[in-house]
Amino acid sequence: MLIMTAKLPRRKLSLGVAAAALLCCCAIALNFGQNMLEVSGSALPSPKGVRSNQDRIDYLSAYGWQVSDEPTATQELLIPEEMDDSYTEYLALQNSQGFDLQKYSGKRVKRYTYEVLNYPTGETGVQANLLICKNTVVGGEVLSPRLDGFLHGLAMP
């Protein structure tokens, strides 16, 4: 049997313990930060690769919406080259969701309209629109087409 002893001054020992504790804290913080990125990254659906009707329904479902099985309307729209003041609020709404419609100025997009079946207030006739350009969601909103209706982003209120 071999026994070795070493004499360490308290100062070096306490520095070693402090360094080990700091490394453990850093590892825990990095792991926590990575988990937060994974959660926040998975919370919002990817706007790319939305090709089929089921992809569009899944995209809206990721925001918590239950919608009709088929779109109630499909329209091809042209995003204007020059946007006047009447677009200011709408562009701000889209920008708040991470969509930059000005990048698509002069381009054709398809607007798919779905009936929302689970609006929190129980209101019926609510619609969800998705603007899609080349299999990428470039905009969207939820609205009530009634005279006293509302318009807000895709996130559930």
pLDDT, tens digit, 9 for 90 and up, residues 80-118: 998 888 889 999 999 999 999 999 999 999 999 999 999
When pLDDT is cut at 50, 70 and 90, the band that residue 46 belongs to is: confident
Give 4-15 pLDDT, tens digit per residue: 565 656 665 454
Contact at 8 Å (CB) between 142 and 130?
A: no
111, β-bridge pairs: 75, 131
Going edge to edge, which strands form the sheet with 73-78?
73-78, 108-115, 127-133, 136-143, 151-152
The reported pTM is: 0.70
Residues 123-142: what's their mean pLDDT?
95
Q: Which amino acid is at 143?
A: L
